[in-house]
């Protein structure tokens, strides 16, 4: 589902954030990406949804898209297959919960009836059907994250990328979000999640990729967090 061979990302300021990384992530896997601040986690996952372009590499494929060759105008097709969730939710403040989620389907030309049915379906999955008409500012942090997850999966992506999805949430709410991500993973979606949350990583065990200084230093089936931050 995700394949990298010797992928490097050097920013224009000459910082090399990812140094010749190779990985293979299969369909249906749940993978944590951990490492100290500034180690290259965000850059590594941004390469997967083409938020950043690789500087060089032998191969960079995600959900059958060749990200070394993809043109800017083809990126929307990639984004149908790769949903993204952020630490700060990134919901549109002037749109309701319904509109925030529906928008992702509107931009790819789905029919209004189809959109309505699917939006209610994903809102049901995240347990927020009763909040369909409210604005993001009227929701708690955990609820906003659930809306952002609903938006990320509304087009049934093959891969869900999450960049510190529990970073702004209290422990109890973080667990709710983790159970939701696990449920989505159990339905067949590949999940890649960058995190600093030692408790979650050590409790809900999954494959763990540890990055330091732009390099993969560990890749373990059910690894522990092991960093001191």
Shortest Cβ 177–ligand ADP spacing (Å)? 11
Contact partners, residue 165, CB within 8 Å, separation at least 6: 85, 86, 87, 145, 149, 177, 181, 193, 195
Q: Which residue is nearest to ligand ADP (CB)?
A: 140
Shortest Cβ 119–ligand ADP spacing (Å)? 18
Alpha carbon distance 204, 199 (integer Å): 8
Interaction pattern, residues 105-144, with ligand ADP; x per rule: CB under 6 A:
---------------------------------xxxxxx-
Closest to ligand ADP by CB, 122 or 143: 143
Shortest Cβ 178–ligand ADP spacing (Å)? 15
Alpha carbon distance 1, 27 (integer Å): 5
Shortest Cβ 205–ligand ADP spacing (Å)? 22
**Alpha-helix runs per DSSP H in 166-229:** 171-186, 198-203
Closest to ligand ADP by CB, 42 or 96: 42
Footprint on residues 1-60 left by ligand ADP (CB under 6 A)? 11, 13, 15, 17, 35, 37-43
Give whole-number Cα distances, 24 to 43, 120, 187, 188, in Å: 17, 34, 20, 17
Shortest Cβ 3–ligand ADP spacing (Å)? 20
Footprint on residues 158-177 left by ligand ADP (CB under 6 A)? 173
Q: Specify the DSSP class assigned to residue 56.
A: B
Beta bridge pairs of residue 82: 159
Please check whether residue 195 is in contact with residue 34, taking contact to mean a CB–CB distance below 8 angstroms.
yes
Give whole-number Cα distances, 206 to 50, 97, 118, 121, in Å: 25, 31, 29, 27
Q: Does 100 bind ligand ADP (CB under 6 A)?
A: no
DSSP sequence for 81-108: HEEEEETT----TTS-HHHHHHHHHHTT
Closest to ligand ADP by CB, 141 or 167: 141
Alpha carbon distance 38, 23 (integer Å): 20
Closest to ligand ADP by CB, 14 or 64: 14
Closest to ligand ADP by CB, 75 or 134: 134
Closest to ligand ADP by CB, 15 or 203: 15
Shortest Cβ 22–ligand ADP spacing (Å)? 17
Residues in contact with ligand ADP by CB under 6 A are: 11, 13, 15, 17, 35, 37-43, 138-143, 173
């Amino acid at each position: 589902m995700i394949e990298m061979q010797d992928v490097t990302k050097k920013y224009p300021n000459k910082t090399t954030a990812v140094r010749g990384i190779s990985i293979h992530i299969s369909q249906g896997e749940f993978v944590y990406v951990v490492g100290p601040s500034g180690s290259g986690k965000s850059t590594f996952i941004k390469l997967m949804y083409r938020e950043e372009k690789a500087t060089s590499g032998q191969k960079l494929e995600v959900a059958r898209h060749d990200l070394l060759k993809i043109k800017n105008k083809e990126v929307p097709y990639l984004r149908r297959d790769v949903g993204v969730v952020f630490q700060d939710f990134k919901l549109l403040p002037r749109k309701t919960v319904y509109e925030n989620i529906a928008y992702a389907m509107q931009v790819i030309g789905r029919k209004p009836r189809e959109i309505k049915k699917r939006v209610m379906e994903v809102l049901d999955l995240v347990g927020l059907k009763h909040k369909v008409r409210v604005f993001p500012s009227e929701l708690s942090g955990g609820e906003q994250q659930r809306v952002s997850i609903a938006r990320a999966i509304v087009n049934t992506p093959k891969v869900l990328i999450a960049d510190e999805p529990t970073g702004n949430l209290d422990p109890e709410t973080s667990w709710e979000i983790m159970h939701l991500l696990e449920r989505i993973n159990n339905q067949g979606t590949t999940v890649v999640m960058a995190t600093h949350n030692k408790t979650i990583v050590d409790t809900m065990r999954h494959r763990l990729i540890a990055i330091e200084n732009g390099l993969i230093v560990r890749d373990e089936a059910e690894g522990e967090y092991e960093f001191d931050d």
